[in-house]
Copies of this chain bind each other. A is one copy, B any other.
Amino acid sequence: EIVEQVIDFLAAKCLAGRRVLLTAGPTFEAIDPVRGITNLSSGRMGYAIARAARQAGAEVTLVSGPVALAAPLGVERIMVRSALDMHGVVMARAAASDIFIGVAAVADYRVANAAEHKLKKDHGGVPAIELVENPDILAEVAAMPGAPFCVGFAAESRNLEEYAQAKRQKKKIPLIAGNLIQDGFGGDDNRLVLFDDHGSHPLAPASKDVLARQLIEHIARLTGNL
Determine the residue in chain B with the shortest Cβ distance to A156: B118
Which residues from chain B contact A157 at a C-beta distance below 8 Å?
32-34, 117-118
Q: Which of A28, A40, A163 has the most CB of B within 10 A?
A: A40
Question: A126 at the A/B interface (Cβ < 8 Å)?
Answer: yes
Interface residues on A, range: 35 or more
B133, A109: Cβ atoms under 8 Å? no
Determine the residue in chain B with the shortest Cβ distance to A158: B117
A181, B41: Cβ atoms under 8 Å? no
A40, B31: Cβ atoms under 8 Å? no
Given contacts A36-B37, A37-B37, contact A127 B131 (CB under 8 A): yes
Which residues from chain B contact A156 at a C-beta distance below 8 Å?
118
A109, B131: Cβ atoms under 8 Å? no
Given contacts A68-B68, A126-B131, A133-B126, contact A34 B105 (CB under 8 A): yes
A34, B155: Cβ atoms under 8 Å? yes
Copies in the complex: 2
Contact of A37 among B31, B117, B155 (CB under 8 A): B31
Q: CA–CA, A131 to B31, complex, Å?
A: 13
Which residues from chain B contact A107 at a C-beta distance below 8 Å?
35
CB distance from A39 to the nearest CB of B (A): 5
* Sampled A-B contacts (24; CB under 8 Å): A28-B40, A32-B157, A33-B157, A33-B181, A34-B39, A34-B40, A34-B155, A34-B157, A35-B38, A35-B40, A35-B107, A36-B37, A36-B39, A36-B40, A37-B38, A68-B68, A108-B119, A108-B121, A118-B155, A118-B156, A118-B157, A126-B131, A126-B133, A127-B131
